[in-house]
Amino acid sequence: MKIFVDTAKLGEIKEAFSWGIVDGVTTNPSLIRKAVEEERKVKGKVDLEVYVGEICKAAGKGRPVSLEVLSQKASKMVEEAQTLYRRFNPIVGNVLIKIPINTYTGQEATDYEGLKAINELSRKRIPTNTTLVMTPEQALLAAKAGAAYVSPFAGRVDDYIRKNLGIDFKKNDYFDFELMREISKARLGDYLKNPTAKEIPSLYLDEKIKKAISIGKDKGITSGVDLVRKIVNIFRKYNIKTKVIAASMRNPQQVREVAETGCDIATIPFEVIREMLKHTKTEEGVKKFYADAVQAKYEELLKS
């Protein structure tokens, strides 16, 4: 599985690449705004175009950098995409254009504009990364339209399910969907106690049973990891070439679980990548080895 670092902070991007484990960068307008604001506090004036160009340079050739459009109409998204691609791709040839799968905001019937933009950009040979994917259906449509990548937002799906259940959580908390599954089974067992064949039709329509089955799910999706897994399975069954980027990673355990799905890429915040390195026993071992080395005068072996 490839790793993209999910940040627009140049310092984080350069540091992550220096570790030799990062294969690309994903940004969005919010990340860029935050990064530029922090940069301006240190340096004063910051030229936005120069800054984004530096991100592309820091990633380097062959390591994709995702840049996002702003508009909600297909024609404007295509125009913005062409501008971004023309302006930044020549630097090292690594730009992907992020297009939302659906730009509907409740005011205009624009739910299909993203697909139209993806399809038009595909014909123009401008690679797209479809963002804000929350269902396998959306991922399938994006792939059919010509998306080079789709980004299911695993963390946001977990947040949505927990919020609907009234579960208190912090952003980086792990969502224990296995526990949720057991709760659902237990609840279902309360209603299904050796039903006879005659009772099954009425039980099938029972609203309490339906709620017991659907507890902790979003349209049949049990977690963000489950969302990624289902998309990967669909793409493999139909030999779809679109790459799957597991996005909105919240913690190391979630990264491990999306890696087990066989997805192509996970885009991970810098701090979560750092958390992936940590374990109490690793720290304990380093301290013990160092203390023993000092006592044994091990440093004598290391002198050139």
**Catalytic center residues:** 98
Rounded CA-CA distance 239/242 in Å is: 9
Q: How far is CA 248 from CA 133, 265, 283, 300, in A?
A: 11, 12, 28, 48
List, in order, residues 6 or more apart from 132 with CB less than 8 Å away: 100, 101, 102, 151, 153
Rounded CA-CA distance 293/111 in Å is: 64
Rounded CA-CA distance 287/304 in Å is: 24
List, in order, residues 6 or more apart from 29 with CB less than 8 Å away: 68, 70
Rounded CA-CA distance 164/42 in Å is: 41
Q: How far is CA 158 from CA 200, 244, 265, in A?
A: 32, 18, 19
Per the structure block, which two tokens stand in for 287? 């301290």
- Reported as type and span, the H/E element at residue 93 is none
Rounded CA-CA distance 125/128 in Å is: 9
Given CA atoms 75, 119, 58, 92 in this order, what sign does their dihedral have? negative
Rounded CA-CA distance 110/101 in Å is: 11
Residue 55 near residue 83 (C-beta atoms within 8 A): no
Rounded CA-CA distance 129/156 in Å is: 17
